[in-house]
Amino acid sequence: MAEKEYKSFSQFYPFYLREHQNTVCRRLHFVGSFLILVTLAFIVSTGQWQYLIMLPFLGYGFAWVGHFFFEHNRPATFTYPLYSFLGDWVMFKDMLTGKIKF
């Protein structure tokens, strides 16, 4: 079955949310995103730029565990890398603000 082609992020985001219905999966995404922000703050404040290599492992590591072991679906990153990256941060913001259940 062919993947749907999304013309905008606003079209993609409802699909993204459907792919993140499991609470544990969403929480793992949140933890990964939070750790990225903490690690970035550490890197910038200390100038230890070598730790930038950790960022993809933090973000994708937690997210993919959520998808493979709890959501039981294929991460949207594999098909829609840019929209999925944006979706991660919008969902993070929506969880922080209470728009999406944490």
Q: For 47, left (φ over 0), alpha (ψ -120 to 50), or beta?
A: left
Start-to-end Cα distance in the chain: 32
Cα separation of 76 and 62, whole Å? 14
pLDDT of residue 4: 82
The mean pLDDT of the chain is 96
For residue 2, pLDDT beyond 90: no
**Is the overall model pTM greater than 0.85, yes or no?**
yes
pLDDT tens digit string along 57-83?
A: 999 999 999 999 999 999 999 999 999
Grouping H, G, I as helix, E, B as strand and the rest as coil, residue 75 is coil
pLDDT at 102: 85
Q: State mean pLDDT over 12-39.
A: 98
